[in-house]
A and B are shown apart, each in its own frame.
Chain A
Amino acid sequence: MARLRMNQAIGAALADAMAEDPTVVVFGEDVAAAGGVFKTSVGLLERFGPERVRDTPISEMAIVGTAVGAAMGGLRPVAEIMFADFFGVALDQVVTQGALVHYLTRGAVTVPMVIRSSVGAGRGFAATHSRTVEEWFLSAPGLKLVEVSGARTAYGLLRAAVREEGPVVVLEPRALYGTREEFEPGDDAVIPLGVAEVRREGADATVVAVGQTVGIASEAIERLDASIELIDLLTLRPWDVETVLASVARTGRLALVEEHPFTGGWGPEVASRVGQELFGELTSPILRITAPDVPVPFTRDLEFRYLPTAEYVAAQLGRWLETDTLPSPWWERIGEEV
């Protein structure tokens, strides 16, 4: 058993993937000599050499585009975009090029690339370096999208992503890089894409969470005196409809804990699907606990007001379970006594 921080687990997954397959190459800004700004690729340059582990200029479009081309040419690149917000200057290469090559060559050419990136608020990086931007990828046919929730899932999903034949974007909540988890790295730890994990079982309600909200939701559930099932979605495209529907069909209630703003993101996708499929079987309205529809504020008090905290999630879940009606979000109650 190893007790690894999430950034170490990612480094271990990269090393194991490179050892397993000589076509795996790693590149990005300051990933080689410095081992990554979040220390996710420490030691790879020393172990695998400068041919396979490279620092790039600050050129996100070239990073992703080069990954697309290298993958088309027969390598398995794992490229890093330091903050997912930077995908904005490289999105063409992800969703309009990389994701479509296989389709537009009618299967003649494949793009087995992985683009890893850090996401999320809670570290004082403010409006331009804190978003989760899942919505940028959710509507991209040809692309798979994964979001890890800790060291074990980061290792397992990254290993699986590298083995995929098509392009995968792997999002890593940066607030979790320093958190530790015990698990045994290796082939048995590989987590297949498209399969959600039930983190705890329960009978009264199903809570679905992603990324750093998995831990937040788990903490919130522990504060409540109720039997709640918690599902970590892990893969957002294609997501595990079956596991979620089966759970909600049993519990009759669905709540989603989403880090992204109310509008857009994976939450509305899951909510609408469950609403469509299980209409009439639900005993309460579907509850979405999200951030408000605003940019991520810098100042600490407001950043942790913006993010759904365990305390807030517990309060919302508690009210919802008690009344079977939707509690209003905090931002509709500003100025009122809570």
Chain B
Amino acid sequence: MAIGKGPEVVTTYDAKTPLMRREEVIADPLARLERMMEIRHAEQKIRELHEEGLAWGSTHSCDGQEAVAVGIAAAVAPTDHVVGAHRGHGLGLALGLTPEQLLGETLGRSVGAVEGLGGSPHLVETSVGLVFTVTLMGAGIPIAAGLALAAEVQGSGRVAVAVFGDGSVNIGAFHEGLNLASLWKLPAVFVIENNHYGEFSRYDRTTAVEPLARRAEAYDLPWELVDGQDVDAVIAAVGAAVERARVGEGPTLLELRTYRYFGHSRSDRAPYRPEGELEAWRARDPIRILGERLEAVGMVDADALAEIDERCRERIEAAAAHALASPVADPGAMFRHVYPEPNR
């Protein structure tokens, strides 16, 4: 066959590496606010690119859920392992993925996180621990248990985190994965990102248990229901669960309550929402909550907030322009990495 290994794809990052971006989020509340704004702008831009016919394929926006993503990123070490799910633009950016990698993947360009071969539901950036993103519901749960097993056997001190939706708690992988992780007391954290809907169905119409995290009791795991609109509450809960895992006390199941502002995917106008639900959640917007908190302690004022917002907008615009000017992977790319190179 005429297909060789081919050149490694050179990725042009933002001036900051993913790790630098991640360290900011861990260290600085203002950086967390900025990252949440960046995520919001990225989602807005991705919608525009689709509307303009420049992007194609399936995509899932997380507007309204930014505090979940950024809170997890701040509470988990960059050396820990995270397995995300399809609605992962926010988690990716929060963990450190650059806007170029996200926009590039969305636009199917070789500068994308996985060379444009996976699409925006498949973000990965191993330098900050985002080792895989699954698009079959619940699949990441036993995988995280396995990553935690590896950490335990190797004594690496690493923790593995699976992030998945409210719709992903009724599949075998959830139950089998949680039971095994509990039985083996693995250093894992399981995070249900309850945005109230799995596709077009409200979570309480598809699950017999309320709150969802109470499922943990069946597997003898600690659990907590958390305000997912408050980034500090997310950091506290995820941080405590990570700590428990790290000191050998086993896994925790967390349910972060949040809300999806837009439809499941592009074509969904969300006609199934009860009247007033969206407005009630928008009144608890995670960006506003953190902005007001930082304003109250004098860390920012209205001008500074506007400035940060504008900076995020520009960064996303620049990333989109860069991605649009970048090439699509060559056909040989689809043959590379199907199998790993032998290492002996």
User: Contacts A59-B170, A298-B117 hold; do A331 and B136 have CB atoms under 8 A apart?
Assistant: no
User: Contacts A127-B122, A298-B108 hold; do A55 and B206 have CB atoms under 8 A apart?
Assistant: yes
- Chain B residues near A89: list those with CB within 8 A: 136, 171-173
Stretch in contact with the other chain, from A14-22, A118-126, A160-168, A276-284: A118-126
Chain B contact residues, majority secondary structure: loop
User: How large, as a class, is the contact surface on chain A?
Assistant: 35 or more
Contact with B along A27-64 (1 / 0, CB 8 A): 00110011001000000000000000001111111100
User: Contacts A59-B171, A89-B171, A125-B57 hold; do A333 and B2 have CB atoms under 8 A apart?
Assistant: yes
From 53 to 104 in chain A, residues with beta carbon under 8 angstroms from any chain B beta carbon are 55-62, 85-86, 88-89
- Chain A residues near B211: list those with CB within 8 A: none
User: Contacts A30-B200, A33-B272, A297-B117 hold; do A124 and B57 have CB atoms under 8 A apart?
Assistant: yes
CB distance from A60 to the nearest CB of B (A): 7
Stretch in contact with the other chain, from B27-35, B275-283, B293-301, B326-334: B326-334
- Chain B residues near A125: list those with CB within 8 A: 57-58, 119
User: Contacts A33-B200, A85-B136 hold; do A126 and B58 have CB atoms under 8 A apart?
Assistant: yes
CB distance from B58 to the nearest CB of A (A): 5
- Tell me which of B121, B138, B167, B170 contacts A126 (CB under 8 A): B121
- Tell me which of B1, B137, B332 contacts A58 (CB under 8 A): B137
- Chain B residues near A139: list those with CB within 8 A: none
- Chain A residues near B135: list those with CB within 8 A: 126, 128-129
User: Contacts A57-B170, A58-B168, A292-B334 hold; do A298 and B57 have CB atoms under 8 A apart?
Assistant: yes
Q: Is the CB of B121 within 8 A of A334?
A: no
- Chain B residues near A331: list those with CB within 8 A: 1, 3, 331, 335
Question: A332 vs B109: C-alpha distance in the bound complex, in angstroms?
Answer: 24
- Tell me which of A34, A300, A305 contacts B200 (CB under 8 A): A34
Question: A165 vs B205: C-alpha distance in the bound complex, in angstroms?
Answer: 33
Q: Is the CB of A126 within 8 A of B335?
A: no
From 195 to 223 in chain B, residues with beta carbon under 8 angstroms from any chain A beta carbon are 198-201, 205-207
Question: A60 vs B329: C-alpha distance in the bound complex, in angstroms?
Answer: 34
- Chain A residues near B334: list those with CB within 8 A: 292, 294-295, 297, 302, 305-306
Q: Is the CB of B136 within 8 A of A128?
A: yes
From 213 to 262 in chain B, residues with beta carbon under 8 angstroms from any chain A beta carbon are none
Q: Is the CB of A332 within 8 A of B2?
A: yes
CB distance from A334 to the nearest CB of B (A): 5
- Chain B residues near A305: list those with CB within 8 A: 331, 334
Q: Is the CB of A124 within 8 A of B333?
A: no
Most buried by B among A33, A88, A298, A302: A298
Q: Is the CB of B116 within 8 A of A298?
A: yes
- Chain B residues near A61: list those with CB within 8 A: 171-172
- Chain B residues near A298: list those with CB within 8 A: 57, 108, 116-119, 122
Q: B184 at interface (Cβ–Cβ under 8 A)?
A: no
Q: A335 at interface (Cβ–Cβ under 8 A)?
A: yes
Question: A124 vs B168: C-alpha distance in the bound complex, in angstroms?
Answer: 23
Q: Is the CB of A123 within 8 A of B172?
A: no
Q: A337 at interface (Cβ–Cβ under 8 A)?
A: no
Number of interface residues of B (CB under 8 A): 41
- Chain A residues near B200: list those with CB within 8 A: 30, 33-34, 37
- Chain A residues near B122: list those with CB within 8 A: 126-127, 298
CB distance from A246 to the nearest CB of B (A): 36
Contact with B along A5-27 (1 / 0, CB 8 A): 00000000000000000000000
Q: B153 at interface (Cβ–Cβ under 8 A)?
A: no
Q: Is the CB of A336 within 8 A of B58?
A: no
Contact with B along A323-338 (1 / 0, CB 8 A): 0000000111111100
From 270 to 302 in chain A, residues with beta carbon under 8 angstroms from any chain B beta carbon are 292-295, 297-302
From 74 to 102 in chain B, residues with beta carbon under 8 angstroms from any chain A beta carbon are none
Question: A297 vs B122: C-alpha distance in the bound complex, in angstroms?
Answer: 12
Question: A126 vs B201: C-alpha distance in the bound complex, in angstroms?
Answer: 24
Contact with B along A131-170 (1 / 0, CB 8 A): 0000000000000000000000000000000000000000
User: Contacts A34-B200, A58-B206 hold; do A301 and B2 have CB atoms under 8 A apart?
Assistant: no
Question: A33 vs B117: C-alpha distance in the bound complex, in angstroms?
Answer: 34
- Chain A residue nearest to B116 (CB atoms) is A299
CB distance from A39 to the nearest CB of B (A): 10
User: Contacts A59-B170, A129-B135 hold; do A124 and B119 have CB atoms under 8 A apart?
Assistant: yes
Question: A65 vs B136: C-alpha distance in the bound complex, in angstroms?
Answer: 19
CB distance from A245 to the nearest CB of B (A): 33
Q: Is the CB of A299 within 8 A of B108?
A: yes
Question: A330 vs B117: C-alpha distance in the bound complex, in angstroms?
Answer: 19
Q: A85-B136, A89-B173 are in contact. List 17 more A-B contacts (CB 8 A).
A: A30-B199, A57-B207, A58-B167, A59-B170, A60-B171, A125-B57, A126-B122, A129-B135, A294-B338, A297-B116, A299-B109, A299-B117, A299-B328, A299-B329, A300-B56, A306-B334, A331-B1
Measured CB to CB, the residues of A under 8 A from B are 29-30, 33-34, 37, 55-62, 85-86, 88-89, 123-129, 292-295, 297-302, 305-306, 330-336
Lowest 3 A-B CB distances belong to which pairs? A124-B57, A299-B108, A298-B119
